[in-house]
Amino acid sequence: MSVHDTSGTPDRDPGETDLQASITHAIAHAIEHDQLVLHYQPILDLRTDSVHAYEALVRWNRPDVALVPPAEFIPVAETSDLICRVGAWVIDRAARQLADWNNDTGNRRLIVAVNISGRHINTPRIRDDVAAALQAHDIDPGQLVLEITETVHIDEHAMDHLNELRGLGVGLSLDDVGTGHNTIDQVSRLPLDSIKIDLTYIDPTTPALRETLQQLVDVAHSLGLAVCGECVERDDQLALLRSLGVEAAQGYLLGRPTTAQELDGRLSRQEPPAGEPPSGES
């Protein structure tokens, strides 16, 4: 698969490589031509054993190409302010989807979490993008959670922006805690409501890893933060989360990311999301 075709009219940044420029322009073209799509992955509330939230994950539906995963274009978008346009599109589309689900189900408590780059958080426009989406789609601010991954350094202005976002009433979560990008130090520094811990490398049968997880959970809880364990693929990982008093879980064991259309029927019938077969997402 190639994401390197040039589309649209180039508008060069000095220092940008030809390859980067062509990918950047192809992504800008994708936003303008409505080629981005969101898939939604269920998040299980372990206290009630019900799905209370979905994480919106972007994909690029390139014509004549298999669905492009975010790892193949988000890092390029993050090298320029293009990531803010991607983020604004994601926030608006997720808010619109929430409004549709609110209308269809009459349930205004469902939460959608979106991923926001540190680069977008560093700009004052993050507040405007969130406020515009909340107003345009008339959703409760508490229904929207911003997941922050610090692949781009969060600067000193970001703290003000995060506090403004909290003032709007949206939830803030730190993604990928413990993976190297987001350290335990960040957890105490940022104004957060929750953290997500990636369980990919957490094997419950290894005491040292279990210990690490326990420490992360304890620090979060001591700061009053809820914890979600993600990338849960096995029953023993889920059992470990429960034993540590973790509030939420997400992963292929509980349901794969899927389209909004696929979820519409389940939400209106109040069915729990079924785990899809490994090749289920495309």
Is residue 251 involved in binding ligand C2E (CB under 6 A)?
yes
Is residue 53 involved in binding ligand C2E (CB under 6 A)?
no
Structural Rg of the chain based on CA atoms: 19
* Minimal distance, residue 58 CB to Mg ion, in Å: 11
Q: Does residue 217 contact residue 12 with C-beta atoms inside 8 Å? A: no
Is residue 171 involved in binding ligand C2E (CB under 6 A)?
no
Using the contact rule CB under 5 A, the part of the chain among 59-67, 101-109, 145-153, 252-260 near Mg ion is: 145-153
Using the contact rule CB under 5 A, the part of the chain among 114-122, 161-169, 181-189, 253-261 near Mg ion is: 114-122
Is residue 57 involved in binding ligand C2E (CB under 6 A)?
yes
For the record, the structure tokens of 208 come out as 């040292």
Q: Does residue 245 contact residue 230 with C-beta atoms inside 8 Å? A: no
- Give 215-265 as a 3 state SS string: HHHHHHHHCCCEEEEECCCCHHHHHHHHHCCCCEECCCCCCCCEEHHHHHH
Element (H, E) at 168: helix 156-168
* Minimal distance, residue 130 CB to ligand C2E, in Å: 14
- Bridge partner residues of 58 (DSSP): 38
Binding mask 84-113 for ligand C2E (x = CB under 6 A): ---x--x-----------------------
Which residue's CB comes closest to Mg ion? 147
Q: Does residue 75 contact residue 103 with C-beta atoms inside 8 Å? A: no
Element (H, E) at 112: strand 111-117
Using the contact rule CB under 5 A, the part of the chain among 1-9, 67-75, 79-87, 173-181 near Mg ion is: 173-181
Is residue 115 involved in binding ligand C2E (CB under 6 A)?
yes
Is residue 257 involved in binding ligand C2E (CB under 6 A)?
yes
Instruction: Tell me the torsion sign for CA atoms 56, 231, 238, 149.
Output: negative
Give the amino acid at 208. A
Is residue 139 involved in binding ligand C2E (CB under 6 A)?
no
Q: Which one among 43, 134, 161, 176 touches ligand C2E, defined by CB under 6 A?
A: 176
Is residue 231 involved in binding ligand C2E (CB under 6 A)?
yes
Q: What are phi and psi of 20, to 5 degrees?
A: -65, -40
Binding region for Mg ion (CB under 5 A): 115, 147, 175-176
Q: Which residues contact ligand C2E by CB under 6 A?
A: 41, 57-58, 69-71, 74, 87, 90, 115-117, 147, 149, 175-176, 200, 230-233, 251-252, 257
